[in-house]
Structure 1
Amino acid sequence: MDEMKDAVKRKMSFGQTMRAVLWSFIGLRKGAEHERDMARLNPVHVVIAGVIAAAIFIAVLVLIVRTVVGQAAG
């Protein structure tokens, strides 16, 4: 139980967590940065940032498909 409380009190801001998650989506992370971030990431922020990033990714894909299909039909 104490581990969970400690995890939630970690030092990285939501913006820093969002940046780490976005870099992870792209797959361009240095090993040293990854290790440093793992010790400081707040798990609650990671989940929220992951959901936001996934929603943005899906929205961009839908926009691209609609644009391509709209141009092909018109």
Structure 2
Amino acid sequence: MDKSTTQRSFLQTLGAVAWSFVGLRRKRDFDEDVGAMNPLYVIAGGLIGVALFIILLMGAVRLAV
């Protein structure tokens, strides 16, 4: 079975989402992940990433004020 057709785990999906947030994802890795990631994992990972980003921003504002 080809690696690109196997389903990615939740942690692997979180890693892919994290790299996407940063913008440092190789096209080859992106192409492999597109068909192998569970859409629910991607949505959950995106929500977790957004929540962490908001918490980070709120913490930075508290430190600045």
TM-score relative to the length of structure 2:
0.89
Across the aligned residues of Structure 1 and Structure 2, the Cα RMSD in angstroms comes to 0.9
Runs of 4+ residues over 2 Å off in structure 1 = none
Higher relative helix content: 1
For the pair shown, the structure with the greater C-alpha radius of gyration is 1
Partner in structure 2 of residue 54 of structure 1: 50
Q: Which runs of 5+ in 1 are unaligned?
A: 1-9, 70-74
Alpha-carbon distance in 2 for matches of 1:30, 1:12: 17
Query: How many correspondences in the alignment?
Result: 60
Alpha-carbon distance in 2 for matches of 1:36, 1:64: 36
Partner in structure 1 of residue 30 of structure 2: 34
Partner in structure 1 of residue 60 of structure 2: 64
Alpha-carbon distance in 1 for matches of 2:21, 2:63: 23
Identity, % of aligned pairs? Answer: 42
